[in-house]
Amino acid sequence: MIDVLYFAWVRERIGLSKEKVETSAETVAGLVAELKAREARYEAAFADVSALRVALDQELSDFDAPLAGVREIAFFPPMTGG
Amino acid sequence: MAVRVQSDPFDPGAELTAFAAERTDIGAVVSFTGVVRDDGGLRAMEIEHYPGMTEKAIAEIEVEAMERWGLKDCLVIHRFGHLAPGEQIMMVITAAGHRGDAFAAAEFLMDYLKSRAPFWKCEVTDAGADWVAAKDEDEDALNRW
């Protein structure tokens, strides 16, 4: 089980801020493919992953990164702090 | 070195006075305060963040600034939640032996906070709410460091 977090418009499109997901995906991209296959709202949120960023255990990462040992994954749009 | 992520307002003047008080090894203190700007029709700014990662990401950026410019101290305050036009969003303070390092470190911190600290701004106007898109120039600004 992995904790999946969504922020900003990703959260709004999916309609959830957090969920637990049972996955056998080996990479972030694999998990995204599984989520997209679930429902239209996931498909809408992940339609263009180049518009998204991902963090693994609260560190920025990449979509081709392995998921082994990861407890928390977060998807969000590019950050707009400051 | 400190990071404060909070929904409450803060007083930039009081923060600046309290910062580095009672230290005699500091020759330059630089501060920057970001304010919610209304270019017309803005009712509020809603700021979302990623609790846990936000504090960690800012602390990592601070450590880099401390090392690179030999800072004596630095502070980042960043708010989240509902902010009205004119309210302070965030503040950066750097202290160094000389002003060049304090200015450069403050700019570095600002550039990194913009696109590497997990905050997302949503502008609320009469027409509705819109997520602020990240700007290419903010990403490009990181290249100069």
pLDDT digits (tens, 9 = 90+) for A39-52: 999 999 999 999 99
Closest chain A residue by Cα to residue B111: A82
A80 CB within 8 Å of a chain B CB: yes
Closest chain A residue by Cα to residue B135: A80
Q: How close, in Å, is residue A6 to chain B by CA atoms? A: 9
Closest chain B residue by Cα to residue A72: B53
Residue A82 covered by a domain: no
- The predicted complex's ipTM stands at 0.95
Query: Rounded to whole angstroms, what are the CA distances from B35 to A3, B79, B86, B89?
Result: 34, 11, 6, 5
Q: Domain total for chain B?
A: 1
* C-alpha angle B139-B143-B145 in degrees, rounded to nearest 5: 120
Residue B142 covered by a domain: no
List the single residue in B53, B114, B139 with the smallest CB-CB distance to A55: B53
Residue A81 covered by a domain: no
pLDDT digits (tens, 9 = 90+) for B108-128: 999 999 999 999 999 999 999
Res. B23: pLDDT tops 90: no
Q: Domain total for chain A?
A: 1
Res. A12: pLDDT tops 90: yes
Q: What is the pLDDT of residue B140?
A: 87
Predicted TM-score (pTM) of this structure: 0.95
Split at pLDDT 50, 70, 90, the class of B34 is very high
Containing domain of residue B17, as a range?
2-133
Q: What is the pLDDT of residue B85?
A: 97
List the single residue in A58, A78, A82 with the smallest CB-CB distance to B56: A58
* CATH for B16: 3.90.1170.40
* CATH for A8: 3.10.20.30
Quote the percentage of chain A above a pLDDT of 70: 100
Split at pLDDT 50, 70, 90, the class of A38 is very high
> B58, B76 in Cβ contact below 8 A?
yes
Query: What's the residue count for chain A?
Result: 82
Comparing B20 with B84, the larger pLDDT belongs to: B84
**Residues of B whose CB is below 8 A from A5:** 50
